[in-house]
Amino acid sequence: MLGADLLCDTLLSNGVDTCFANPGTSEMHFVAALDRKPRMRCILGLSEGVVTGMADGYGRMADKPAATLLHLGPGLANGLANLHNARRAHTPVLNVVGDHASYHLKNDAPLTSDIESLAWPMSQFVKRIGCAADVAKDARAAFEAAMSIPGVATLILPADAAWSEVSNAPKHQPYVPKQPVVDDKAVQAAAQAMTSGRKTALIMTGRALRAAGLEIAGCIATRTGADLLSQVSNGRIERGVGRVPVGKIPYPIDQAIAALKDYQAVILIGVSEPVAFFAYPGKPTHLLPKDCDIINLAGIADNHIETLAALSKAVDADGASSGAVTHAVAPPAIEDAALTAELACTVVARHIPDNAIICDESISSGRDFFDQTSHAAAHDYLQLTGGAIGIGIPLAAGAAVACPERKVIGLQADGSAMYTVQGLWTQAREGLDVVTIILSNRSYAILQGEMKNVGVDKVGRNASRMLSIDEPAIDWPSLARSLGVQSCRATTVAELELALEKAMAHKGPMLIEAVIA
């Protein structure tokens, strides 16, 4: 068999059966091998930002990596911004980056570039396959690396490693996750802090934000009076009916500092000490009060559920009420009016069906949405994690590939949507059950706020040309239809209500432009 076939077999034997791709000439032998493996589902993205963003959405929901297939350095480069988001979400992703045949690299042909240098900033594992004989070993190592923390692993596949003959795959060894390690000392320190009468918060991410983790954390909170918080941006939170509500540290620096100012102790699970998203002149970059006790209870790679269980035992919380949401509470109906960002989010919050997946790249327009949906029907909540805009449309597509029976709702800022708008085409081609609500304010509104933060109240031509995206206004319904996605526009509360009712009754991709003032 060829190295390319062995790579496919190794991926499949490890359960990697979905490949988001945009291949090129150097990957043709791998494409031919994929063509011989109908068990692998190959999904095309019309640019690599779509490819990697889909892999992020898939990995967050499937808890295993999809493969990506990328064309040399430039193909990887196009996908790096969303790999940055995947890295920050700790999503398992396994990139296969094709490269020239190894003996051709020295010729510096036009598509040659330093792939390792490009890959490392967004990968926790980078390996160039030396020859076809190494394919199975290196692919398995990449898979293990993607699963371990989890995170992004990048495998560079030279064309000659793909096209050379190699013996069959070695016998498959099942992947055994690392044994959970609970830091008993940290558990005792955390328990002591929580029961000392000091104002305490548990700040969490990762598996602690799944239903099982939150259930234990809820009991601990009930028992100790501690608050439950998550970091500003999290890869996935299980929320709504049946789940314990968890707060989120606000994004704006002043609000974040205010939200944390009274804590005397914080216990960190999977997160680092909270820091500012950006630095501002004269403002702190560390968000906790100076004298706040910080206890690192578990790192991102540790077992959050076992750790929470140990903490629960230590504070005698087993059997306490978790405070999980018992029944869905949607915001009440609102009177018809022209849409604003707040009204649009409220209307969307009223229409969340049971078991939905919400992909939130609403940026400044959706700041209230998280609080409005804490008591919604059970749902998963996926966010922009790394601040690299352009994740929303592909994230929703990838989540829909992983969970074909669930409705995916994309709450999407317009400026960010334009980064990877090509993802709508993949939603159409694959018939994915995604409804995208474009919060269309025709500006990078967050930056207009930031201009005020730097002391500019009245912007001139240059700044306004860089921060507004009107002139021309993007016609979102036409744009979506041109890529095969049904669409409509809503400018009032009533129109958006009607559009969402239709969208929730419809199976397949749909886009609603919510024009907001």
According to CB under 8 A, which residues from 328 to 387 bind its own copies?
385-387
How many chain residues are in contact with its own copies, going by CB under 8 A?
106
x/- mask, its own copies, residues 40-69, rule CB under 8 A, reads x-xxx-xx-x-------------------x
According to CB under 8 A, which residues from 180 to 219 bind its own copies?
none
Listed in sequence order, the residues at least 6 apart from 130 whose beta carbon sits closer than 8 Å to its beta carbon are 102, 138, 161
By CB under 8 A, residue 104 contacts its own copies: yes
According to CB under 8 A, which residues from 1 to 40 bind its own copies?
21-26, 28-29, 31-32, 34-38, 40
What is the CB neighbour count within 10 angstroms for residue 170? 12
Q: What is the DSSP letter of 495?
A: H
Nearest to 384, CA basis, from 153, 81, 32: 81
- Give CA–CA dist 25/23, Å, rounded: 7
According to CB under 8 A, which residues from 401 to 440 bind its own copies?
415, 418-422, 425, 428-429
Q: What's the residue count for the chain?
A: 517
- Cβ closest to its own copies, residue 148 vs residue 443: 443
Instruction: Single out the residue of 272, 371, 501, 507 in contact with its own copies (rule: CB under 8 A).
Output: 272
Rounded to the nearest 5 percent, the helix, strand and coil shares of the chain are 40, 20, 40
Is the sign of the CA dihedral 257, 258, 263, 268 positive or negative? negative
- Give CA–CA dist 151/352, Å, rounded: 30
- Cβ closest to its own copies, residue 210 vs residue 286: 286
Pull the structure tokens for residue 112: 């040659």
> Residue holding tokens 């002391």?
455
x/- mask, its own copies, residues 140-179, rule CB under 8 A, reads -------------------xx--x----------------
Instruction: Single out the residue of 466, 501, 506, 507 in contact with its own copies (rule: CB under 8 A).
Output: 466
- Cβ closest to its own copies, residue 38 vs residue 319: 38
By CB under 8 A, residue 513 contacts its own copies: no
- Give CA–CA dist 240/242, Å, rounded: 6
Concatenated DSSP letters of 411-469: EEEHHHHGGGTTHHHHHHHTT--EEEEEEE-SB-HHHHHHHHHTT--S--HHHHHHHB-
x/- mask, its own copies, residues 281-320, rule CB under 8 A, reads x---xx----------------------------------
Question: What minimum distance in Å lies between the beta carbon of 212 and its own copies?
Answer: 26
According to CB under 8 A, which residues from 211 to 270 bind its own copies?
232-233
By CB under 8 A, residue 508 contacts its own copies: no
Looking at 194-202, 260-268, 399-407, 443-451, which segment touches its own copies (CB under 8 A)? Answer: 443-451
